[in-house]
A and B are shown apart, each in its own frame.
Chain A
Amino acid sequence: MSSKPKRGDVLDPKLAVEIRQATIGYSSKEPLLSSINIQFFKGEIVAIAGPSGIGKTTLLRTIAGLVPPLDGNFFIDGKENKPSRGELGYIPQRLGLVRHASVYHNVLLGALAGHTSPWFPYSSAAKKIALEAISSVGLDDKIRTPIRRLSGGQQRRVATARTLAQRPSIILADEFLGELDDETMNLVMEKVTSYVRESNATLIVVEHDISRAKEMADRILIMEDGRLNPFVNEPISIELDKEFEKEVNN
């Protein structure tokens, strides 16, 4: 277990996210995870799996700075603050798209976060990047279509394009491949993983489907009995409990 950071601590430059002795949840009386230590490295894809309601999404939201940790320290790219603008891309389970706005508008929001300042959120370069991202997920013909008129698969492609247009160094994705047909799933997975490899970014993905997690991730973290037990943090290809895998897949 890592100790609490001290003044002058040097963090590993390969680290994208480091969590030290953190307690996570919404109430200190009933934390979802207690005293966890995890490290996520640049250029790796990590899948987090486990039964429903155990705290996977809360962990992701805590890394994203949306839920304050009850205790402990979170370091994003060596800094113990909220991630800076555009550094972190987040694809929530419900995608977080603006349903009444067009595909272009949604993807542009990602591009603006990654390539402009908050006080002057305008750039012709960001517009070009947004159009390229839309094209990369094959939605050129839907640029002006409102999100509410798209299918579930197309909406997931928009959420992916928004994150790709942002070009973040860390991507947090919550079940972002859920309920996709094989073709769309392969397209989305390929786009995101190739971005991670090319940009030396980090992808942390919550994934229910263990076989899909194995296919995509460099390592898988299993959360079991998260309410009481310490977080399981095994390096590279852990052996999965067959019964648990069966339970999760069912």
Chain B
Amino acid sequence: MKSRYLSSAEETSDVQETILSSIWFSSRWFVLIGCLVFLSVVVTNSMVDNWGRLANGSDNLFAFINESLWPPDWSVTEPQAYPVCTEPEWRDFTCSTAWIGVIETLKIAFVATIFGMIISLPISLLAARNLNPWWVSFPARFILAASRSLPSIIWAIFFVILVGLGPLSGILAMTVYTVGYLGKLQYEAIEGVSRPPLEASEAMGHGWLERSFGMIIPESANGLISQLIFMFEYNFRHGTVIGIVGAGGIGYYINLYLKFLQYDKVIAYLLIIFIVVLLLDLVSIAARSFFTEDGDVTRPPSSWWGIFLPSAMIDLLKPK
């Protein structure tokens, strides 16, 4: 119809424009990603003086693994010489530095996550812009940003100075960091809640408490639970780091063996941490399955592969 009113030159230019716009539409993401990669390479190049160093990297890595890291020294799971282990033989592993370190780190991470969540949830409810005016949400965001701005290791150093060496400084450091980090994740989950329940609540005349605890928290429960378990896992992993500055946990032993250059023992600790992180991920899948849509995340043991693979790929692997 349109061509009836166009000259042939106009028609050709119209067709060309359509083709160009369709090419741009289909390739715009590739162009954008290409530009970002190019920019990253240029910036890196401006900071690296000698790319030749990369050539020796793999040789150094293999030498390090063969001579120092592998095989792991599993003696870290054996009972310590002192203090003398009084446990029966079948559970004497509980006297090992690995067990003591892991349990202490888990305890620190657990307590810090719970305290952090209790403090961060009310602040994140205040920080959510879909629940509050800006003059409420901005100060709440300021508090969360302030506690997040320092990494947990700096908080650990700060609390070691304040309360001395040991797990207490670890708990305090992790709690403060958890408030900032978890609070940010929580208010983002809260702001992602769909509008209709909020609008129904507002029209009904619900107060802030009912809207927050009756609508928002149940509606974003999946995200909140997932983030809580992620934070526990994160705190466990970071327990190894803050232990290095004397805040207790498995990091204390890692730091000890790093000082003596016993990397085979260090890798044993790291593998134990990896296994515990995988187990925590299983717990996360199980907990989240109570709050997700059917077929999204199913409960273990049928979906333990979900630790490694996305759900779409698991569906492909399932027997028909």
Contacts and interface: CB of A to CB of B under 8 A. Distances in A.
B202 A118 contact: no
A61 B205 contact: no
Nearest to B215: A98
B214 interface: yes
B204 A91 contact: no
B214 A98 contact: yes
Contacts of B221: 100
A22 interface: no
Contact of A98 (B203, B208, B218): B218
Contacts of A92: 196, 199-200
Nearest to B210: A121
Contacts of A149: 294
Q: Which of B196, B200, B206, B221 has the most CB of A within 10 A?
A: B200
Contacts of A64: 199, 202-203
Given A105-B218, A172-B203, A112 B197 contact: no
Given A98-B215, A112-B210, A118 B200 contact: no
Q: How large is the interface on A (under 10, 10 to 19, 20 to 34, 35 or more residues)?
A: 35 or more
A89 B209 contact: no
Interface string B249-276: 0000000000000000000000000000
Interface stretch (A9-17, A80-88, A201-209): A80-88
Contacts of A95: 196, 200
B80 interface: no
A242 to B, nearest CB: 29
A90 interface: yes
Given A112-B210, A118-B210, A96 B205 contact: no
Contact of B199 (A83, A90, A99): A90
B59 interface: no
Nearest to A118: B207
28 contacts: A61-B199, A64-B202, A66-B203, A84-B205, A86-B205, A90-B199, A90-B200, A92-B199, A95-B200, A96-B196, A96-B198, A96-B200, A98-B197, A98-B214, A98-B215, A100-B222, A101-B219, A105-B218, A109-B210, A109-B215, A112-B206, A112-B214, A113-B204, A118-B205, A118-B208, A119-B207, A121-B210, A162-B200
Contacts of B226: none
Contact of B206 (A66, A93, A97, A109): A109
B89 interface: no
Nearest to A102: B218
A100 B219 CA distance: 6
Contacts of A121: 206-207, 209-210, 214
A79 interface: no
A86 B204 CA distance: 5
Interface string A110-143: 1011100011010000000000000000000000
Contacts of A144: none
B201 interface: yes
Interface in A32-67: 61, 64-66
A23 interface: no
Q: Which of A90, A96, A162 has the most CB of B within 10 A?
A: A96
Closest 10 CB pairs of A and B: A118-B207, A96-B200, A85-B205, A90-B203, A96-B196, A113-B204, A64-B203, A101-B218, A94-B196, A92-B196
A83 B205 contact: yes
B238 to A, nearest CB: 30
A105 B203 contact: no
A166 interface: yes
Nearest to B194: A94
B204 A90 contact: yes
Nearest to A93: B196
A123 to B, nearest CB: 12
B113 to A, nearest CB: 22
B293 interface: yes
A148 to B, nearest CB: 6
A119 B205 CA distance: 12
B219 to A, nearest CB: 5
A68 to B, nearest CB: 13
Given A100-B219, A100-B222, A66 B202 contact: yes
Contacts of B197: 96-98
A148 B293 contact: yes
B115 interface: no
B291 interface: yes
Contacts of B200: 90-92, 95-97, 162
B199 A87 contact: no
B87 to A, nearest CB: 44
Contacts of A119: 207, 209
A94 B21 CA distance: 35
Interface string B176-203: 0000000000000000001011111111
